[in-house]
Structure 1
Amino acid sequence: MLDPLTIPEETRAAIIQAYDLSGYRDSGCLDDLAAFAAELCGTPVALISLVEEETQQFLAAIGFDEARTPRDTSFCAHAMVAGDPVMVIPDASTDPRFLDFPLVSGPPHIRFYAGARLVSREGVPLGAICVISPEPRPEGLTHFQYCGLEILATAVMGRLQDRRAQLEYERTVEASEARVADSEQRFRTLADTMPQMVWSTLPDGFHDYYNARWYDFTGMPNGSTDGEGWSGMFHHDDQDRAWARWRQSLTTGEPYQIEYRLRHRDGTYRWVLGRALPIRDAEGRIIRWFGTCTDIHEQKLALEEREIVSQELSHRIKNIFAVISGLIAFAARSHPDFSAIARDLRDRITALGRAHDFVRPHSAQSRPKARQDSLHGLLGDLFEPYRDGEAGLRIHVAGDDVPVDDRSATPLALLFHELATNAAKYGALSAINGHVRLSSHCRGEMVTLCWQERDGPPLEATPAHAGFGSQLVELSAVRQLGGTVRRDWQREGLVVTIDVPLAAFSRPPGTGPCR
Structure 2
Amino acid sequence: MLQRTEDLWPRGEPPSTALCDEDARLALLAAHGASALVEDPELNAIVSLAAKACDAPLAAITIIERDHPLFLARLGLAQEETPRPISFCAHAMLGSESMVIPDATLDDRFHDNPLVTASPHIRFYAGYPLISAEGAPLGALCIIDTKPRPAGLTELQRETLAVLGAAVMRRLGQRRLNLEAKNEIDQREAQLRRMIDSVPDIAFSADADGTFDYFNARWEELTGQPPPALATDWQPFVHAEDFAASLERWNTAVRNVTPFEDQWRLRMADGSWRWVLSRVVPAVTKAGAARWFGVLTDIDAVHREKQAKDLLAAELSHRIKNIFAVISGIISIRARGRPELFEFASDLGTAIRALGTAHDYVRPVEGRSSDCLQGLLRDLLAPYDHGNSGHVTVTGADIEIGPQAATPLALIFHELATNSAKYGALASDRGTVAVEIAAPNATDGMLHVTWRETSGTGPLSESSGSEGFGSRLLRLAIENQLRGSFERRMGADGITIEIAVAADRVAA
Class of the TM-score when normalised by the shorter of the 2 chains = 0.5 to 0.7
2:132 corresponds to: none
For the residue of structure 2 that corresponds to 1:189, the secondary structure is helix
Report the equivalent of 2:381.
383
Residue 8 to residue 329, structure 1, CA distance change in 2 (3 Å):
farther
Q: State the Cα RMSD in Å.
A: 5.6
Per the alignment, residue 99 of structure 1 pairs with none
State how far apart, in whole Å, the 1-side matches of 2:399 and 2:474 are: 21
| Cα distance change on mapping 1:10 and 1:237 into 2, 3 Å | farther
Identity %: 31
Deviations 1:179-234 (A, max 9, x none): 3422321222212221222223343333343333333322x15x365556543122
Distance 1:134 1:409 in 2: 107
Counterpart in 2 of 1:447? Answer: 446
SS of the residue aligned with 1:383?
helix
Structure 2 equivalent of residue 416 of structure 1: 413
> What TM-score comes out, normalization by structure 2 length?
0.67
- SS for the counterpart of 1:334 is coil
* Cα drift, residue 459 of structure 1: 5.2
Return the match for 2:206 from 184, 196, 201: 201
1:266 aligns with 2:263: no
Q: CA deviation at 1:7?
A: 6.1
Map Cα deviations across residues 489-515 of structure 1 (whole Å, 9 max, x no partner): 233532323444455445xxxxx5xxx
Residue 189 in 1 paired to residue 210 in 2?
Answer: no
Range with greater deviation from structure 2 (457-466 or 127-136): 127-136
CA deviation after TM superposition for structure 1 residue 267, in Å: 2.3
Q: CA deviation at 1:162?
A: 9.0
Asked if the contact 1:231–1:239 (Cα under 8 Å) also holds between the matched residues in 2, the reply is yes
Alpha-carbon separation, structure 1, partners of 2:39 and 2:248: 63
Aligned-residue offset at 1:283: 1.4
Alignment pair present for 1:355 and 2:353: no
Instruction: Tell me the TM-score normalised to structure 1 length.
Output: 0.66
Greater relative CO, 1 or 2 (CA 8 Å, sep 6+): 2
In structure 2, do the counterparts of structure 1 residues 272 and 25 end up closer, same or farther at CA, with 3 Å as the change threshold?
closer
Structure-1 residue corresponding to 2:473: 472
Cα pair distance change 1:419/1:77, threshold 3 Å:
same
Equivalent residue letter for 2:336? R
Match of 1:251 in 2: 255
Compared CA separation, residues 267 and 493, structure 1 to 2 (3 A): same
Task: Tell me by how many angstroms 1:308 deviates.
Answer: 1.5
**What do residues 353-409 of structure 1 show as CA deviations (whole Å, max 9, x unaligned)?**
1111233234x2x32x11x3x33332233233344757457232424725321x332
Asked if the contact 1:383–1:393 (Cα under 8 Å) also holds between the matched residues in 2, the reply is no
2:88 is the counterpart of 1:67? yes
SS of 1:458 mapped into structure 2: coil
Alignment partner, residue 243 of structure 2: 239
Change (3 A) 1:244 1:399: closer
Quick check: 1:297 aligned with 2:300? yes
Report the residue type matching 2:450 in the other structure. W
Q: Is the 8 A contact 1:77 1:127 kept in 2?
A: no
Shift in CA distance, 394/77, structure 1 to aligned 2, threshold 3 Å: same
Distance 1:173 1:461, change over 3 A: same
Unaligned runs of 5+ in 2: 1-9, 16-28, 63-70, 78-85, 117-123, 129-139
Distance 1:173 1:229, change over 3 A: farther
Instruction: Give the drift of 1:348.
Output: 1.7
Cα distance in 2 for partners of 1:272, 1:69 equals 65
- Residue 213 of structure 1 corresponds to which residue in structure 2? 218
* Separation (CA, whole Å) in 2 of partners of 1:310 and 1:416: 26
Task: Tell me, in whole angstroms, the C-alpha distance in 1 between the residues paired with 2:184 and 2:296.
Answer: 28
Q: CA deviation at 1:266?
A: 3.0
Per the alignment, in what secondary structure is the counterpart of residue 490 of structure 2? strand
Contact 1:449 1:499 in 2 (8 A): yes
| Residue 309 in structure 1 maps to residue 337 in structure 2 | no
- 1:55 is aligned to none
CA separation of 1:413/1:194 partners in 2, compared to 1, >3 Å: closer, same or farther?
same
Give yes or no for the alignment of 1:403 onto 2:401: yes
Task: Say which SS state the counterpart of residue 293 (structure 1) adopts.
Answer: strand
Give me the whole-angstrom Cα distance separating, in 1, the residues matched to 2:38 and 2:276: 65
1:364-375 equivalent positions in 2, closer than 5 A: 364=366, 366-367=367-368, 369-370=369-370, 372=371, 374-375=372-373
- The residue type equivalent to 2:361 in the other structure is F
Q: In 2 relative to 1, CA 356–132 (structure 1 residues): closer, same or farther, beyond 3 Å? A: same
Which position in structure 2 is the counterpart of 1:332?
335
**Partner letter of residue 204 of structure 1?**
D
Q: Deviations over 1:225-258 (max 9, x none)?
A: 5556543122232232333333233322222222
> Hey, what does 1:85 align to over in structure 2?
none
- Is 1:277 aligned to residue 278 of structure 2? no
Q: Does structure 2 conserve the Cα–Cα contact (< 8 Å) formed by 1:49 and 1:60?
A: no
Q: Within 5 Å, which residues of 2 pair with 1:15-54?
A: 33=48
Q: Pick closer, same or farther for the CA change 1:392–1:309 going to 2, 3 Å.
A: farther
User: Are the counterparts in 1 of residues 193 and 216 from structure 2 also a CA contact under 8 Å?
Assistant: yes
Q: 1:292 to 1:24 in 2, by over 3 A?
A: closer
Displacement of 1:285 in angstroms is 0.7
- Rounded to whole Å, the distance in 1 between the matches of 2:381 and 2:294 is 47
* Inter-CA distance 433–176: structure 2 relative to 1 (3 Å threshold): farther
Structure 1 equivalent of residue 65 of structure 2: none
Report the 3-state secondary structure (helix = DSSP H, G, I; strand = E; otherwise coil) of the residue aligned with 2:261: strand
- Following TM superposition, by how much is the alpha carbon of 1:130 offset from its aligned partner in structure 2, in angstroms? 9.1
Tell me if structure 2 keeps the 8 A contact 1:253–1:278: yes
Partners of 2:284 and 2:421 lie apart in 1 by 61
Shift of 1:309: 1.4
Over residues 449-499 of structure 1, what are the superposed CA-to-partner deviations in whole Å (9 max), with x where a residue is unaligned? 443425433359687953343233234334554544432323353232344
Distance, in Å, in 2 between the alignment partners of 1:325 and 1:477 is: 26
Amino acid at match of 2:329: G
Q: How many residues align?
A: 449
- 3-state secondary structure, aligned to 1:290: strand
- Give 1:315 shift: 1.3
| Aligned amino acid, residue 219 of structure 2 | W
Q: Output aligned runs, 1:104-123, within 5 Å.
A: none
Q: 1:162 to 1:394 in 2, by over 3 A?
A: farther
Contact 2:483 2:502 in 1 (8 A): yes
Matched residues in 1 for 2:38 and 2:399: separation?
84
Preserved CA contact (<8 Å) 2:487 2:499: yes
Q: Deviations over 1:406-453 (max 9, x none)?
A: x33222212111212323443344362633233343456753544342
Gaps of 5+ in 1: 1-5, 12-16, 51-57, 80-91, 93-101, 118-125, 142-146, 507-511
CA 1:482–1:243: 2 relative to 1, 3 Å: closer
Q: Which residue of 2 aligns with 1:489?
A: 490
Alignment partner, residue 14 of structure 1: none
